[in-house]
């Protein structure tokens, strides 16, 4: 669909939605993805490489997608119908209703109301990685595992000194770290929701890492088909009315003694086993 649009239509999307359309052109390196998935920790929703924990953050995605002008304190949630945006999309693309995915148009309809797409994108990223772990996609026999094994060797041997903790272009003054009564940030996606705890990766903000509270994080994921999902959505949506941020304290990517002890006791369920 994107390739069929002329420059004028593409520019219209850029001005309204930042760099979000560029996601349509992303080519996934399947070897790298399979390697990364084996280091994904579904309990905490981050990657664990030895003693290094990393995760995509709201601030990183906001900067990458140029969504800074969009209101970041409004949670995305699927609406019952999306006729307004469907009409707009068909008017500028001359497409029929049958060629438009409802959940995609709903996402853009939410964006049209100045609701950031970042939490929804992060939610579906985390949920997809969790699903990979659950169904053991990473354990399926590979046709060509050479490139994947090379990636695994690199990732498995990562040391703290190998990490560029913060990208030069990422300069957040504040960190969104919790909403409402949750000890973390609830992310409402397109097909489901999940929790996100950026306090687990403070070193990515060049701040000192301490042991955060993550009560309920491991049980936070649910789909929009499960029992009682509407109540859960309402709770998360209400929590987004009370977002909490902390000032970024740039002291360098260090850790507290308590965190080192916690890291040693923590049970990781994503330890890579050669031959998987």
Tell me if 162 is assigned to some domain: yes
3-state secondary structure (DSSP) of residue 217? coil
Tell me if 128 is assigned to some domain: yes
User: What residues have CB less than 8 Å from 82, skipping those under 6 apart?
Assistant: 102, 105, 106, 109
Predicted pLDDT at 253 = 77
Write out the residue range of the structural domain in which residue 116 sits: 2-265
Tell me if 10 is assigned to some domain: yes
Contact 188, 120 (CB under 8 A): yes
Q: Flag residues of the chain having pLDDT under 70.
A: 1-5, 13, 15-17, 21, 24, 68-115, 136-145, 171-172, 250, 267-276
The β-bridge relationship of strands 52-54 and 174-179 is unpaired
Whole-structure pTM value: 0.78
Predicted pLDDT at 149 = 85
Tell me if 272 is assigned to some domain: no
Tell me if 276 is assigned to some domain: no
Predicted pLDDT at 1 = 58
Tell me if 57 is assigned to some domain: yes
Q: How many domains does the chain have?
A: 1
- What proportions of the chain, in percent to the nearest 5, are helix, strand and coil? 45, 15, 40
Measured CA distances, 276 to 93, 158, 271 (Å): 45, 19, 11
Contact 194, 127 (CB under 8 A): yes
Tell me if 174 is assigned to some domain: yes
Predicted pLDDT at 118 = 86
What are the φ and ψ backbone dihedral angles of 56, each rounded to 5 degrees? -65, 140
Tell me if 275 is assigned to some domain: no
C-alpha–C-alpha distance, residues 142 and 109, integer Å: 40
């Amino acid at each position: 669909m994107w390739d069929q649009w002329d420059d004028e239509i593409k520019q219209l999307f850029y001005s309204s939605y930042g760099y979000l359309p560029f996601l349509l052109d992303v080519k996934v390196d399947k070897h790298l993805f399979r390697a990364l998935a084996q280091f994904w920790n579904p309990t905490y929703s981050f990657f664990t490489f030895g003693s290094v924990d990393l995760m995509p953050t709201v601030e990183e995605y906001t900067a990458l997608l140029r969504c800074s002008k969009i209101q970041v304190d409004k949670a995305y949630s699927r609406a019952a119908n999306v006729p307004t945006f469907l009409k707009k999309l068909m008017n500028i693309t001359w497409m029929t209703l049958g060629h438009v995915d409802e959940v995609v148009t709903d996402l853009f309809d939410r964006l049209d109301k100045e609701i950031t797409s970042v939490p929804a994108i992060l939610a579906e990223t985390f949920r997809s990685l969790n699903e990979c772990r659950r169904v053991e996609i990473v354990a399926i026999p590979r046709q060509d595992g050479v490139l994947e094994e090379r990636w695994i060797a690199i990732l498995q041997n990562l040391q703290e000194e190998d990490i560029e903790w913060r990208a030069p272009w990422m300069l957040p003054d504040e960190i969104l770290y919790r909403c409402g009564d949750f000890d973390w940030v609830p992310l409402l996606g397109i097909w489901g929701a999940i929790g996100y705890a950026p306090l687990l990766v403070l070193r990515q903000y060049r701040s000192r890492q301490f042991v955060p509270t993550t009560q309920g994080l491991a049980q936070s994921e649910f789909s929009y088909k499960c029992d009682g999902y509407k109540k859960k959505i309402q709770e998360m949506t209400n929590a987004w009315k009370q977002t909490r941020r902390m000032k970024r304290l740039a002291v360098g990517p260090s850790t507290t003694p308590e965190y080192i002890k916690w890291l040693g006791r923590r049970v990781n369920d994503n330890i890579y086993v050669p031959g998987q």
